[in-house]
Amino acid sequence: MIKPDLNQALPAELGSLHFVGIGGSGMSGIARLFLAAGHRVTGSDRSENHNTEDLRALGATISIGHDASNLGDADTLVYTGALWPDNPEYLLARDRGIPTLHRSQALAWLINKQRLIAVAGAHGKTTSTGMIVTALLELGEDPSFVNGGVIQSLGVSAASGTGELFVVEADESDGTFLLYDTAVALITNVDADHLDHYGSHEAFDEAFVTFARNASELVVVSSDDPGAIRVTAALRDKRILTFGEAETADVRVHSIGTEGPVSFVLNWQGHDYPGALRVPGKHNAINAAGAFAVLVGLGFEPENALAGIAGFTGTERRFELHGIVRGVSVYDDYAHHPTEVAAALAAARSVVGEGRIIAVHQPHLYSRTQLMAGDFASTYERLADYTVVLDVFGAREDPVPGVTGALVSEKFEDKGRVAYLPDWQQAADHAASVAREGDIIMTLSCGDVYRIVPQILASLSATSAI
């Protein structure tokens, strides 16, 4: 991967932009905003998807496959963190001396002087961002936004608004969330991840401290997460609102009902405000508390803020139902860290009733798999009824000898509840054969595991349960 230069001065003008990896959820959203701002946009990606199709319809020129000729006469190249430094389009841009910007740098340029709400944290960013955007629209605001996933009720992950507010999901994975001129910072949690970049838990914490200190108006931070508590303790002379289940939280969530779509009560300034969501899972009640804290911190009335959040219907790749075949529901979820997996499986448990959960786990990153194989195994063994493990999706990393999905399956105590099947068709057939009416099959990863979903649905149609 290419490590962005966070000290790089941004050009006064970007002109026409070429996006390498334009089909990704984050990159496509930023490209959409540049198109809306009147810039000429070109791009490339390894394969077609609905993002590339949508961007073409908006006027972008997109090439499939990476080749130096794709750069054309672009004035600026924008790259994703997953890009390798030998990419021919990137190398040509460097040879020509045109600006090469990480996507977060391009976004920081685009935000300019707008009032920024930046949402960061190891988990819950996309959902929390979606809740805030949905609520602001329900409240009559017209924010600009860039989210890491498509907000289902809006059908997009990004849009340009006419209001002063700009809401972004801020990526902590490579430190680029420190680029933004943030007004309101929401920290969902500081559960150590991306240690391949930061090197230590302490450095990871310190990045969040810096992120919070940079917020000019308000810091909204979890009262429950140990890392977030450490960050809060390091802050001085900041307006802070905490949220969570802790008795001391400024926005305290309690009376959480987790059967089906989640219900809860938020206590704010001595008053209880009952709420309900259209999405399941205790974690989403806590996400709602964080979004609520942002909104009341901005001055919105509590009842109106909670009603706005209630309009949120979810984001793509977050507990997303893809189909039901012979009574088996097939979901996909972006969860790729043990904490996220636990939350996703708990949400599934709240809706599966008497049925079982068959998880299909695609390990993401060799470094994470090597470090957390045991944590993944214990989480799946505790919360799923059966687990199929695929091979590692390496993303931006080179393969590490000996690091495969087998590292996870070998950590299971009960080997009868897990199968390591790197062949996707075998994995789909096996998951379908295990499932019976009333069960949930759930794919989990931020890699490309969603691509196996059609195979699972087809296998369910063709296979009788055992």
Active site residue ranges: 125-126, 169
What's the token pair of residue 219? 């810091």
With contact defined as beta carbons under 8 Å apart, do 335 and 281 qualify? Answer: no
Q: How many C-beta neighbours within 10 Å does residue 229 have? A: 16
Q: Which helix (H) or strand (E) holds 279?
A: strand 271-280
User: Residue 41 corresponds to which tokens in the numbers above?
Assistant: 């946009």
Structure tokens at 31: 């490209």
Instruction: With beta carbons less than 8 A apart as the criterion, state whether 368 and 427 touch.
Output: no
**How many angstroms separate the Cα of 102 from the Cα of each of 179, 198, 208, 408?**
11, 18, 20, 33
Q: Please list the residues that pair with 418 across neighbouring strands.
A: 387
Q: Which amino acid is at 257?
A: G
Cβ(61)–Cβ(70) under 8 Å?
Answer: no
Burial class (CB in 10 A: 0-12, 13-18, 19+), 303: exposed
SS3 382: helix
Q: Name the amino acid, one letter, at 416.
A: G
Rounded to 5 degrees, what are φ and ψ at 254?
A: -150, 175
| DSSP assignment of 406-429 | HHHHTT-S-GGGEEE--SHHHHHH
* Whether the Cβ atoms of residue 127 and residue 313 lie closer than 8 Å to each other: no
